[in-house]
Structure formats: structure tokens, C-alpha cells
Amino acid sequence: MDATAQPASPGLLNDRRTINGWALFDWANSAYALVISSAIFPAYYVSVTADQIPIGPFTLSNSALYAYSVSLAYILIALLSPVLSGVADASGRKLIFLRFFTTIGSISCMALYFFKGMDEIAIGTGGFILATIGFTGGLVFYNSYLPEIATEDRFDRISARGFAFGYIGSVILLVANLAIIMNHDALGLPSRSMATRLAFVSVGIWWLGFAQVTFARLPKDRKSRFATHTLRKGFRELHKVWQQLKAMPNLKRFLWAFFFYSAGVQTVLYMAATFAEKELHFETTLLILLILILQLVAIVGAFLFARLSERFGNKASLMTMLLIWMAICISGYYTYTQTFFYVIAACVGLVMGGIQAMSRSSYSKLVPPDTPDRTSFFSFYDILEKVAIVLGTFTWGAMEELTGGMRPAILTLILFFLIGLNLLTGVRIQKNDPDTAQAYSPS
């Protein structure tokens, strides 16, 4: 532990008011994850921009530029994460950083209101990148509060409460935005475009507004002296994990498998809405309904594959899901109707929550239980997923530019799933671990 870290205040441990305040931050920021990154903004971005956009001496398709924007955001996040982890571990000034990233993210969402078309493309692209950085950067500090407000025996339950708050809150806001967009005439709004842009403002207000409750209830910053070596701590921890992995070939092989198939999974999740709008001409209201269906199916899928894992083991469950992901990519390539895309979206929902929960569960089993720095191992896992997003979305954008279409980019993702599947076949994961079911509790 960093020398500047302080123990949790006994009066705040397991305090209901503090815990609910912490969980409410998930309610606040999950609006970004659902409304901006998944349901509304990606399709809006493609619909209001030109098919081909000049960027200096180059010309990119609008969907490729969006993919590259995701890549750039996560490159910056991956570089920042070790520094932020070091600051979070120091435990001295977490609240001020949580406020900072929340403010940056929420204001960036509100700024998207001014993104009406090509004349404001810098606002649209830059605002999205900053909102993504604000969302992910804040999570580092938000997650680091858990040991400070609860005892270890309550971590799972409290983490699940945060997830539940986030899911419920984001869905409420998304449904409200759907109602406003569908009834914009009756509400006196001049256009559907303005109703959509007001949805971006609502995310920023929701995020920043509810976060104030969290800021008021979390432990206050301790005015400990800031040490410059804190900024290097995260990088040292990651290097230490990499050195330890040399003596853990089984875990190292799993991480490589996770890296490649995550590149495929995350790219599908980020680019599905742009594909639906550009290739299948989905309207905003239909896309929102599609995302809501996907969210509901994801809950069923997580429990389904948890049961499958209990019976056949994590490895069999993961391999089954990777085969389904490949089938999704092949089907997406041949999809030309909105009706069939609903079927594909249901399949994505089925394996979306399952593969993320199963991957975390498997990794938990493979990290030796007597490892003293398990937190550093999970920081490594988290950053690896961020770098995978960069690889996947950049590959998508590059393939779209090389081939002139989004469909070949979908087929390219199959390669990531195949590499992941091949690596996973050589991984040994203990079957029927009693902790498997618990690992599917949202966290």
C-alpha cells in the first residue's frame, strides 16, 4: 500500500447512507454508457455527417471516423489508467479527481447539443471522446472507494447494488428520451433532431446532478502530501504483473485469448448502432427499442451461461459463446432487413453479459489465491480490455476504408474470435468451482 494511503474511517464502513450514495453514482454515469455510447449517439453521428469526411490530406467515411474516435479515446484512457490507479491507491485526493472526470464527461455530453451536422463535427467528435474519457476515468476512482466504505464480506452485494442502480437509472432515462423523441411535435419541439440533441443534454444533467449526492456522501479527501512517485506507481505495478505472468503460462494464455476475443466483442457493441443506421436505415426510435430488447435479453443470457458453466465448466461456456459470436458476425454480413437484425441483436444480448461475466469469473479462478497483489492483476486485466477496444475499433475503421463498406469489417472480427478460441483450447480452468455462480453477480 502507498505510504499516503489512509485506512477507512470505521464510522463510514457499512453505513447505509454512504453505500447508497456510492451506488447512486452508477445510476448517474450509466446514462452515458447506454444513451451516448450504445443507443442514440452512434446512429445520430452517422445520420448528420457526410458519408465521406476530409481529415487533412485524407478522406474517411463517417462510420470509420467514429470507429477511430473510439480508438483514440481508449488509447488515451489506457495511457491514463496506470497513472489514475496510482493516484487512487494513494487514497488522498480521490474525490477531487472523481469530480473532475464527472464534470468533464457530463459537460461534454451537454456540448453535443450543438452538434447539428458537418459544420460542428469537431464538437461532435471531440465531445464524444472527452465524454468517454470522463466516464472511464471516473470509474477508476469510483471503484476504489469500495474498500473504504464496506467490509470485504459485503463487497459482492454492494457492487451488485451499484450495477442494479445503474441499469435501472439508465433504462429510465432512455425510455424518457424515447418518449420525447417520438412525441416531439406534441411537446412543441420543432424537429426530431432537436429532441435527439436534448437527449444528450439530459445525460449530462442526469450524470452531473445525481453525482452530487455521491460527492456529498463519500468520505472527504485527506489532505495528505502528494508524492510524485505516486504517478509512476501504476506503471510499476503493471510491469510487476507482466513479470509474474512469465511463471504463469496458463494464466498468460488465457489473457491473450481474452485480449483477442474482447477486441471482437467490444467492437461489435460499439459499432452495431452505426451499422444499423447506415446499412439498414434504422430510425432513432427503432434503435432505442432494439437496445432495450438487447439489455433485457442480456440478463437472461448471463443466467443461462452461468448455469451452463455450473454443469460443463467455464471453458466450455466461453467456447460456446465464441462460436455464437462468430455466427453473429457471419449473419450480420448477410443481413439486409431490419427484422432479421432484431434476431441478431437478441443473439448479441444473449452472449453479451455472459461473456463479460464469464471472463471475469475465469480470470478470478486462474489468479492464484495466495497472490498478494490481486488488485494489480485486475488493473492489468482492465487495461488489457481497453487496449483490445483500440485494436478492434481501429481494425474496423481500417477495413471499412480499405474495402469501402462495413460488411467486410464485420467478417474481419471473426479472426479475433478464432484466435481467441484457439488460444482458449489450451487453457485449463477448474470445473464446477463453487464461486462460479457468485461471479455472475453484477459488479
403-414 confidence digits (pLDDT tens) = 989 999 999 999
What's the CA angle centered on 11, arms 8 and 14, to 5 degrees? 80
Give the phi and the psi of residue 415 in degrees, each rounded to 5.
-60, -40
Q: State pLDDT tens for residues 14-42.
A: 889 999 999 999 999 999 999 999 889 99
- Kindly list the distances between the CA atom of residue 31 and the CA atoms of 39, 103, 131, 152, in Å, as whole numbers in the listed order: 10, 14, 12, 28
Rounded distance, CA 389 to CA 387, Å? 5
Give the 3-state DSSP-derived string for the chain, with helices as H, strands as E and coil as C. CCCCCCCCCCCCCCCHHHHHHHHHHHHHHHHHHHHHHHHCHHHHHHHHCCCEEEECCEEEEHHHHHHHHHHHHHHHHHHHHHHHHHHHHHCCCHHHHHHHHHHHHHHHHHHHHHCCCHHHHHHHHHHHHHHHHHHHHHHHHHHHCHHHHCCHHHHHHHHHHHHHHHHHHHHHHHHHHHHHHHCCCCCCCCCHHHHHHHHHHHHHHHHHHHHHHHHHHCCCCCCCCCCCCHHHHHHHHHHHHHHHHCCCHHHHHHHHHHHHHHHHHHHHHHHHHHHHHHHHCCCHHHHHHHHHHHHHHHHHHHHHHHHHHHHHCHHHHHHHHHHHHHHHHHHHHCCCCHHHHHHHHHHHHHHHHHHHHHHHHHHHHHCCCCCCCHHHHHHHHHHHHHHHHHHHHHHHHHHHHHHCCHHHHHHHHHHHHHHHHHHHHCCCCCCCCCCHHHHCCCC
Model confidence band, residue 48 (pLDDT cutoffs 50, 70, 90):
very high
Give pLDDT, residue 254.
95
Give pLDDT, residue 230.
66
CATH class of 246-443: mainly alpha
Model confidence band, residue 305 (pLDDT cutoffs 50, 70, 90):
confident
250-254, 285-289, 308-312: least confident range: 308-312
Whole-model pTM: value is 0.84
Q: Is the model more confident about 180 or about 5?
A: 180
Rounded distance, CA 209 to CA 179, Å? 21
Residues 6+ apart with CB under 8 A from 21: 213, 214, 216, 217, 218
Model confidence band, residue 228 (pLDDT cutoffs 50, 70, 90):
low
Rounded distance, CA 184 to CA 315, Å? 49
Question: Where exactly does CATH 1.20.1250.20 map onto the chain?
Answer: 15-226, 246-443
Give pLDDT, residue 442.
32
Q: Which CATH architecture has domain 15-226?
A: Up-down Bundle (1.20)
Amino acid at 288: I
The winner for highest mean pLDDT among 160-164, 253-257, 293-297 is 253-257
- CB-CB contact of 393 with 68 (8 Å): yes
Closest to 139 (Cα-Cα) out of 44, 267, 22:
22
Give pLDDT, residue 367.
82
Model confidence band, residue 440 (pLDDT cutoffs 50, 70, 90):
very low
